Amino acid sequence: MIAILGAGSLGRLWAATLPGGQVAFVPRPGQAPGPVCYRFQSIDGESANAIIPWLQPGQSPDLILVTTKAGDTLEALKAALPSIAKQTPIVLFQNGLGSQQQVTETWPDRPVLAASTTEGANRPAPGLTVHAGRGTTWVGALNPAGNPLVERVAQQLASSGLMVHPEHDILARLWQKLVINAGINAFTAILDCPNGEILTQPFYLQWISPLCEEISRLLPAAGQPQQAPEDLRETIEAVARKTAANTSSMRADVKAGRTTEIDFINGYLARLGHQHGIPVQVNQMLAEQVQQLN
Protein backbone atom coordinates (compact mmCIF):
# COMPACT_ATOMS: atom_id res chain seq x y z
CA MET A 1 0.00 0.00 0.00
CA ILE A 2 1.27 3.44 -1.01
CA ALA A 3 -0.13 6.32 1.04
CA ILE A 4 -0.26 9.86 -0.38
CA LEU A 5 -0.31 12.91 1.89
CA GLY A 6 -1.69 15.81 -0.14
CA ALA A 7 -4.64 15.49 -2.53
CA GLY A 8 -3.69 18.33 -4.89
CA SER A 9 -2.90 17.98 -8.59
CA LEU A 10 0.35 16.06 -8.17
CA GLY A 11 -1.03 13.77 -5.47
CA ARG A 12 -4.03 12.97 -7.66
CA LEU A 13 -1.76 12.27 -10.64
CA TRP A 14 0.16 9.63 -8.69
CA ALA A 15 -3.01 8.22 -7.11
CA ALA A 16 -4.62 7.76 -10.54
CA THR A 17 -1.57 6.21 -12.22
CA LEU A 18 -0.38 3.83 -9.49
CA PRO A 19 -1.96 0.35 -9.57
CA GLY A 20 -5.60 0.36 -8.48
CA GLY A 21 -6.32 -0.86 -4.98
CA GLN A 22 -2.75 -0.19 -3.84
CA VAL A 23 -3.00 3.51 -3.00
CA ALA A 24 -4.83 5.64 -0.43
CA PHE A 25 -4.79 9.28 0.61
CA VAL A 26 -3.74 10.12 4.17
CA PRO A 27 -6.58 12.00 5.86
CA ARG A 28 -5.91 15.33 7.53
CA PRO A 29 -7.55 15.94 10.92
CA GLY A 30 -11.29 16.37 10.38
CA GLN A 31 -11.18 15.19 6.75
CA ALA A 32 -14.44 13.86 5.23
CA PRO A 33 -14.78 10.06 5.52
CA GLY A 34 -15.88 9.41 1.91
CA PRO A 35 -13.35 8.52 -0.81
CA VAL A 36 -11.73 11.12 -3.07
CA CYS A 37 -13.52 10.94 -6.43
CA TYR A 38 -12.46 12.75 -9.60
CA ARG A 39 -12.13 12.40 -13.35
CA PHE A 40 -8.56 11.79 -14.47
CA GLN A 41 -7.57 12.76 -18.00
CA SER A 42 -4.43 10.96 -19.10
CA ILE A 43 -1.73 12.38 -21.34
CA ASP A 44 -3.38 10.90 -24.45
CA GLY A 45 -6.68 12.62 -23.68
CA GLU A 46 -8.60 9.60 -22.41
CA SER A 47 -10.41 10.08 -19.12
CA ALA A 48 -11.67 7.75 -16.41
CA ASN A 49 -13.09 7.98 -12.92
CA ALA A 50 -10.62 7.75 -10.06
CA ILE A 51 -11.96 6.69 -6.68
CA ILE A 52 -9.23 6.80 -4.03
CA PRO A 53 -9.98 5.73 -0.45
CA TRP A 54 -8.60 7.29 2.69
CA LEU A 55 -5.98 5.38 4.66
CA GLN A 56 -7.84 3.63 7.47
CA PRO A 57 -6.75 3.43 11.11
CA GLY A 58 -4.52 0.40 11.57
CA GLN A 59 -3.45 0.26 7.90
CA SER A 60 0.32 0.32 7.59
CA PRO A 61 1.59 1.63 4.23
CA ASP A 62 5.03 0.57 3.02
CA LEU A 63 5.62 3.97 1.35
CA ILE A 64 4.31 7.49 1.90
CA LEU A 65 4.41 10.18 -0.80
CA VAL A 66 4.18 13.77 0.46
CA THR A 67 2.70 16.03 -2.23
CA THR A 68 1.64 18.95 -0.03
CA LYS A 69 2.79 22.52 -0.65
CA ALA A 70 6.22 23.20 0.84
CA GLY A 71 4.84 25.44 3.58
CA ASP A 72 2.31 22.81 4.70
CA THR A 73 4.67 19.83 4.76
CA LEU A 74 6.00 19.93 8.32
CA GLU A 75 2.62 20.35 10.03
CA ALA A 76 0.97 17.75 7.76
CA LEU A 77 3.63 15.19 8.63
CA LYS A 78 3.43 16.00 12.35
CA ALA A 79 -0.26 15.06 12.19
CA ALA A 80 0.21 11.95 10.02
CA LEU A 81 3.43 10.27 11.18
CA PRO A 82 2.41 9.15 14.67
CA SER A 83 0.28 6.41 13.05
CA ILE A 84 2.92 5.47 10.42
CA ALA A 85 5.61 2.87 11.16
CA LYS A 86 9.06 4.40 11.72
CA GLN A 87 10.68 2.30 9.00
CA THR A 88 8.23 3.51 6.31
CA PRO A 89 10.10 5.60 3.73
CA ILE A 90 8.89 9.18 3.24
CA VAL A 91 9.23 10.67 -0.27
CA LEU A 92 9.04 14.48 -0.44
CA PHE A 93 7.80 16.10 -3.68
CA GLN A 94 8.00 19.76 -2.65
CA ASN A 95 9.18 22.63 -4.84
CA GLY A 96 12.19 24.68 -3.81
CA LEU A 97 14.36 23.97 -0.79
CA GLY A 98 14.00 24.39 2.95
CA SER A 99 11.04 22.14 3.70
CA GLN A 100 13.14 19.03 3.00
CA GLN A 101 15.72 20.10 5.57
CA GLN A 102 12.94 20.76 8.10
CA VAL A 103 11.71 17.18 7.70
CA THR A 104 15.12 15.49 7.96
CA GLU A 105 15.98 17.57 11.04
CA THR A 106 12.64 16.81 12.73
CA TRP A 107 12.75 13.04 12.05
CA PRO A 108 16.46 12.15 11.71
CA ASP A 109 15.88 8.42 12.25
CA ARG A 110 13.14 7.99 9.65
CA PRO A 111 14.14 7.16 6.05
CA VAL A 112 13.56 10.40 4.10
CA LEU A 113 13.85 10.64 0.32
CA ALA A 114 13.09 13.43 -2.12
CA ALA A 115 11.68 13.39 -5.63
CA SER A 116 12.30 15.92 -8.36
CA THR A 117 9.70 15.66 -11.11
CA THR A 118 8.93 17.35 -14.39
CA GLU A 119 5.51 15.68 -14.68
CA GLY A 120 2.80 18.26 -15.27
CA ALA A 121 -0.66 18.05 -13.72
CA ASN A 122 -3.40 20.57 -13.12
CA ARG A 123 -7.03 20.84 -12.10
CA PRO A 124 -8.75 23.10 -14.66
CA ALA A 125 -12.20 22.41 -13.21
CA PRO A 126 -13.62 21.01 -9.98
CA GLY A 127 -13.48 17.23 -10.00
CA LEU A 128 -11.08 17.05 -12.95
CA THR A 129 -7.33 16.35 -12.85
CA VAL A 130 -5.38 16.51 -16.12
CA HIS A 131 -1.99 14.94 -16.79
CA ALA A 132 -0.82 17.95 -18.77
CA GLY A 133 2.78 17.10 -19.54
CA ARG A 134 4.83 13.92 -19.65
CA GLY A 135 8.08 14.21 -17.71
CA THR A 136 10.61 12.35 -15.61
CA THR A 137 10.89 11.78 -11.87
CA TRP A 138 14.17 11.27 -10.03
CA VAL A 139 14.21 9.81 -6.50
CA GLY A 140 17.10 9.91 -4.03
CA ALA A 141 17.88 9.76 -0.33
CA LEU A 142 18.11 12.85 1.86
CA ASN A 143 19.55 11.05 4.89
CA PRO A 144 21.51 7.85 5.63
CA ALA A 145 18.36 5.95 6.62
CA GLY A 146 16.97 6.51 3.14
CA ASN A 147 20.04 5.33 1.21
CA PRO A 148 19.30 1.58 1.12
CA LEU A 149 15.72 2.19 -0.06
CA VAL A 150 16.26 4.31 -3.18
CA GLU A 151 16.13 1.48 -5.75
CA ARG A 152 13.07 -0.12 -4.15
CA VAL A 153 11.17 3.16 -3.92
CA ALA A 154 11.99 4.01 -7.55
CA GLN A 155 10.61 0.62 -8.62
CA GLN A 156 7.43 1.16 -6.60
CA LEU A 157 6.85 4.55 -8.20
CA ALA A 158 7.62 3.17 -11.67
CA SER A 159 4.62 0.82 -11.28
CA SER A 160 2.60 3.95 -12.18
CA GLY A 161 3.87 3.73 -15.76
CA LEU A 162 5.53 7.13 -15.32
CA MET A 163 9.25 7.52 -16.00
CA VAL A 164 11.14 7.14 -12.70
CA HIS A 165 14.91 6.96 -12.09
CA PRO A 166 16.96 6.46 -8.91
CA GLU A 167 19.30 9.40 -8.29
CA HIS A 168 22.43 9.25 -6.09
CA ASP A 169 22.67 13.06 -5.78
CA ILE A 170 19.09 14.22 -5.39
CA LEU A 171 20.16 17.52 -3.83
CA ALA A 172 21.81 18.51 -7.12
CA ARG A 173 18.53 17.75 -8.93
CA LEU A 174 16.59 19.83 -6.42
CA TRP A 175 19.01 22.72 -6.95
CA GLN A 176 18.63 22.50 -10.73
CA LYS A 177 14.87 22.79 -10.37
CA LEU A 178 15.20 25.55 -7.75
CA VAL A 179 17.28 27.66 -10.16
CA ILE A 180 14.66 27.30 -12.91
CA ASN A 181 11.76 28.06 -10.55
CA ALA A 182 13.63 31.08 -9.15
CA GLY A 183 14.05 32.47 -12.65
CA ILE A 184 10.49 31.86 -13.87
CA ASN A 185 7.84 31.51 -11.17
CA ALA A 186 8.08 34.84 -9.37
CA PHE A 187 8.14 36.75 -12.67
CA THR A 188 5.02 34.95 -13.93
CA ALA A 189 3.20 35.70 -10.67
CA ILE A 190 4.21 39.38 -10.59
CA LEU A 191 3.50 39.91 -14.30
CA ASP A 192 0.41 37.62 -14.31
CA CYS A 193 1.37 35.85 -17.52
CA PRO A 194 2.23 32.38 -18.87
CA ASN A 195 5.86 31.24 -18.66
CA GLY A 196 6.88 32.21 -22.19
CA GLU A 197 5.58 35.76 -22.00
CA ILE A 198 8.05 36.83 -19.31
CA LEU A 199 10.85 36.72 -21.90
CA THR A 200 9.71 39.94 -23.59
CA GLN A 201 8.60 41.86 -20.47
CA PRO A 202 10.73 44.87 -19.43
CA PHE A 203 10.55 43.89 -15.73
CA TYR A 204 12.01 40.47 -16.49
CA LEU A 205 14.64 41.84 -18.86
CA GLN A 206 15.72 44.34 -16.21
CA TRP A 207 16.23 41.80 -13.44
CA ILE A 208 17.09 38.41 -14.94
CA SER A 209 20.83 39.07 -15.38
CA PRO A 210 21.42 40.41 -11.85
CA LEU A 211 19.28 37.52 -10.52
CA CYS A 212 21.50 34.97 -12.30
CA GLU A 213 24.61 36.72 -10.94
CA GLU A 214 23.26 36.30 -7.40
CA ILE A 215 22.46 32.62 -7.95
CA SER A 216 25.89 32.02 -9.49
CA ARG A 217 27.52 33.33 -6.29
CA LEU A 218 25.17 31.31 -4.05
CA LEU A 219 25.78 27.90 -5.66
CA PRO A 220 29.29 27.27 -4.27
CA ALA A 221 28.17 28.56 -0.84
CA ALA A 222 25.58 25.77 -0.91
CA GLY A 223 28.14 23.15 -1.91
CA GLN A 224 26.96 23.06 -5.53
CA PRO A 225 29.15 23.45 -8.63
CA GLN A 226 29.46 27.07 -9.72
CA GLN A 227 27.76 28.00 -12.98
CA ALA A 228 28.27 31.17 -14.98
CA PRO A 229 25.36 33.65 -14.84
CA GLU A 230 24.89 33.48 -18.61
CA ASP A 231 24.62 29.67 -18.46
CA LEU A 232 21.99 29.92 -15.73
CA ARG A 233 20.00 32.41 -17.81
CA GLU A 234 20.24 30.16 -20.86
CA THR A 235 18.86 27.21 -18.86
CA ILE A 236 16.02 29.28 -17.39
CA GLU A 237 14.99 30.72 -20.75
CA ALA A 238 15.14 27.34 -22.50
CA VAL A 239 12.60 26.02 -19.97
CA ALA A 240 10.46 29.16 -20.27
CA ARG A 241 10.31 28.68 -24.05
CA LYS A 242 9.63 24.93 -23.76
CA THR A 243 6.76 25.58 -21.32
CA ALA A 244 5.69 28.86 -22.93
CA ALA A 245 1.94 28.29 -22.65
CA ASN A 246 2.05 26.91 -19.09
CA THR A 247 0.85 28.73 -16.00
CA SER A 248 3.39 28.30 -13.20
CA SER A 249 2.18 26.88 -9.90
CA MET A 250 3.06 30.21 -8.25
CA ARG A 251 0.91 32.23 -10.65
CA ALA A 252 -1.91 29.70 -10.19
CA ASP A 253 -1.62 30.01 -6.39
CA VAL A 254 -1.81 33.82 -6.56
CA LYS A 255 -4.86 33.72 -8.84
CA ALA A 256 -6.59 31.23 -6.53
CA GLY A 257 -5.75 33.21 -3.37
CA ARG A 258 -3.53 30.42 -2.02
CA THR A 259 -0.25 30.92 -0.17
CA THR A 260 2.63 30.62 -2.64
CA GLU A 261 5.89 28.70 -2.21
CA ILE A 262 8.00 31.85 -2.67
CA ASP A 263 9.58 31.41 0.79
CA PHE A 264 11.09 28.13 -0.43
CA ILE A 265 12.31 29.46 -3.80
CA ASN A 266 13.57 33.07 -4.02
CA GLY A 267 12.98 33.46 -0.29
CA TYR A 268 15.21 30.44 0.39
CA LEU A 269 17.94 31.93 -1.82
CA ALA A 270 17.66 35.26 -0.01
CA ARG A 271 18.06 33.59 3.40
CA LEU A 272 21.02 31.60 2.12
CA GLY A 273 22.67 34.80 0.92
CA HIS A 274 22.15 36.49 4.27
CA GLN A 275 23.73 33.50 6.06
CA HIS A 276 26.84 33.64 3.87
CA GLY A 277 27.16 37.41 3.49
CA ILE A 278 26.33 37.29 -0.23
CA PRO A 279 24.25 40.19 -1.66
CA VAL A 280 20.78 38.93 -2.65
CA GLN A 281 18.81 42.11 -3.33
CA VAL A 282 17.04 40.72 -6.42
CA ASN A 283 15.90 37.51 -4.74
CA GLN A 284 14.75 39.55 -1.73
CA MET A 285 12.85 41.98 -3.98
CA LEU A 286 11.12 39.19 -5.93
CA ALA A 287 10.16 37.37 -2.73
CA GLU A 288 8.70 40.54 -1.20
CA GLN A 289 6.76 41.46 -4.35
CA VAL A 290 5.16 37.98 -4.53
CA GLN A 291 4.34 38.04 -0.81
CA GLN A 292 2.49 41.31 -1.37
CA LEU A 293 0.28 39.67 -4.00
CA ASN A 294 -1.41 37.38 -1.43
Buried b or exposed e, range 118-153, using 16+ CB within 10 angstroms: ebbbbeeeeeebbbbeeeebbbbbbbebbeebbeeb
Q: Is 217 helix (H, G, I), strand (E, B) or coil?
A: helix
Q: Is 4 helix (H, G, I), strand (E, B) or coil?
A: strand
Name the residue among 142, 150, 139, 132 with its Cα closest to residue 195: 132
Name the residue among 143, 240, 142 with its Cα closest to residue 184: 240
Paired sense of beta strands 163-166 and 2-5, if any: unpaired
Given a contact cutoff of 8 angstroms between Cβ atoms, the answer to whether 50 and 196 are in contact is: no
- Residues linked to residue 91 through DSSP beta bridges, in sequence order: 65, 113
Catalytic positions: 177
CB-CB neighbours of 107 under 10 Å: 17
Given a contact cutoff of 8 angstroms between Cβ atoms, the answer to whether 123 and 129 are in contact is: yes
Name the residue among 13, 15, 27 with its Cα closest to residue 52: 15
